Amino acid sequence: MNRPDTIRLATLPTPFEPLSRLADALGRTGPAPSIWMKRDDCTGFAGGGNKARKLEYLVADALKHGADTLVTLGAIQSNHARQTAAAAARHGLGCVLLLTDSVTNRSEAYRTNGNWLLDRIFGAQVRLLAAGEDSSAVAAETLTALSAQGRTPYLIPVGGSNALGSLAYRDAFLELAAQAESQNCTLDRIVLPTGSGGTHAGILAGVEAAGLPCRVHGISVSRPSEQAQAIVSGLVRDMAALEGRQHSKATEPAIDDSQIGPGYGQPTAAMVEAVELVARTEGILLDPVYTGKAMAGLISRVRSGAFAPGETVIFWHTGGAPGLFAYPEAFIG
């Protein structure tokens, strides 16, 4: 099996550390498991985050195909768009971001600060799409227009979540497994945010590759669990097909959709509590769209007794802290 080409963007391995003060705080209301964090907020590239790992595969493929412009899609405060813009700048490529104004009732900061501001600083060309506009059609039109101008565009899907990008998180799980072994830490459960699905799918593939009995719990930030499960399962199959290997009939992805609240990117009281609790016990910043809601899901499960006190639960921090600056009203009450 040939390994796809990669470039280097992220500073790896990212830290793996215990959250003992958070566990103590949650233990005041009942027995809490041991809680650790895999810190992909510390990938070090363009403000950090999980997309740096995926872009190592995706930008390498773009360069292999002679691309001179990266095109991708997302919401206005997309962490993926920010890191794609930076990766394009790092390699002297053009970058077109197709960002949908899909999150309603936000303050002016949502459209001027956070990732939006950083996209501009990295030099990306940003096209704003209205809510409900067909982003796939706009992407196709954009690729055609760029080609007509004599450019060679390369389309990266939302979140970098295709089979190629997802491979990065199989690698990442194997990185975590080695760190856990060196620290005599068992990997009983992993909790992570599930959005476009590539990170979740890659971690599932990593668990299978490592042969470990680790259970992976996705906390959906945007879709009902059935839809999210279908996306993650499809990506796991696509990864196997990409590498020409047999897809095993693995357990259906476990995804909890109870933390979505009013919708993608919409704050919830549980998210605010989670962000503030982790900041005030561990000095670590989560984000309001992904990791804040995923941590709210972890906290809810600890409080309900879903995790046994003797278990070790790993929270996979996928980054996104620049998004906090787009949500000041959620934290200033």
CA separation for the pair 303, 36 (Å, rounded): 17
Supply the pLDDT for residue 3. 79
Average model confidence (pLDDT) across the chain: 96
**What does the pLDDT average to over 33-55?**
98
300 part of the active site: no
- Tell me which residue has tokens 């989670």: 274
Which tens digits make up the pLDDT trace of 85-140? 999 999 999 999 999 999 999 999 999 999 999 999 999 999 999 999 999 999 99
Report the DSSP beta bridge partners of residue 34: 312
Look at residues 324, 238, 233, 217 and name the one whose alpha carbon lies nearest to residue 275: 324
Look at residues 234, 231, 250 and name the one whose alpha carbon lies nearest to residue 242: 234
- At residue 312, φ and ψ (nearest 5 deg) are -110, 125
**What does the pLDDT average to over 299-322?**
96
Cα–Cα distances in angstroms (integers) from residue 216 to residues 175, 193, 234, in the given order: 16, 11, 16
3-state SS class at 210: helix
Supply the pLDDT for residue 252. 77
Which tens digits make up the pLDDT trace of 244-283? 887 776 667 999 999 999 999 999 999 999 999 999 999 9
Which tens digits make up the pLDDT trace of 181-209? 999 999 999 999 999 999 999 999 999 99
Could you give all domains of the chain from N- to C-terminal order, each with its CATH number? 16-48+162-331 (3.40.50.1100), 51-160 (3.40.50.1100)
Residue of 20, 34, 78, 258 marked catalytic: 78
Which tens digits make up the pLDDT trace of 143-168? 999 999 999 999 999 999 999 999 99
- Assign 333 a pLDDT band (cuts: 50, 70, 90): low
